[in-house]
Structure 1
Amino acid sequence: MSALFNFKSLLLVIIFLICTCTYVRAQFPSVIDKNKTGILGVFWKFARIGERLSPYVSLCCMIMAFDLILSLVK
């Protein structure tokens, strides 16, 4: 099933995108910063969300990890 049709999977993909874009921007800022507009500007926005809301993003990562662990145990 595609992540677009499952809300939990869609949230997981968005959280992973935020974390990945934030990490890439920290390591290679020129890759993300040169694309602030257009369709690739979405990655810059994800990186900005990860930088500004990092405590909330990390809390969401921990909640999703805990939920995944519980779903594997069932």
Structure 2
Amino acid sequence: MSNLKKHEQLYSFDGILVFGLLFICTCAYLKKVPRLNSWLLSEKKGVWGVFYKAAIIGTRLHIPVAISCLIMAFYVIFLK
């Protein structure tokens, strides 16, 4: 595969969606770990607030996030 093709895949829309879903799922998981919750997810504003907001999205919308992960996994494995 050429370098141009690899570069195009690096910034693809579905890659951004996969990263977003994995980020939300990871932050929701870290929210369940008490030591990491107080250390990483204590700030609600600013740059560190992104982790807190992703954890809230992952815990409150866990069913749509899980369905999105399954759909994205099917897409990446079978259609891409």
**TM score, norm. by length of structure 1:** 0.84
Matching residue's letter, 2:72: M
Q: Is the 8 A contact 2:25 2:58 kept in 1?
A: yes
Q: Provide closer, same or farther for how the CA distance between residues 53 and 11 of structure 1 changes in structure 2, counting only shifts above 3 A.
A: same
Is 1:35 aligned to residue 43 of structure 2? Answer: yes
Show structure 1 runs of 5+ residues with no match: none
Aligned pair count reads 72
Residue of structure 2 in register with 1:15 after alignment: 21
How far 1:33 moved relative to its partner?
A: 3.3
How far 1:32 moved relative to its partner?
A: 3.4
Single out whichever of 3-12 and 17-26 deviates more from structure 2. 3-12
**Correspondence list, 1:62-73, <5 A:** 62-71=70-79
How far 1:31 moved relative to its partner?
A: 2.4
- Alignment RMSD, CA only? 1.9
Residue of structure 2 in register with 1:48 after alignment: 56
**TM score, norm. by length of structure 2:** 0.79
SS at 1:35 equivalent: coil
Runs of 4+ deviating beyond 4 Å: none
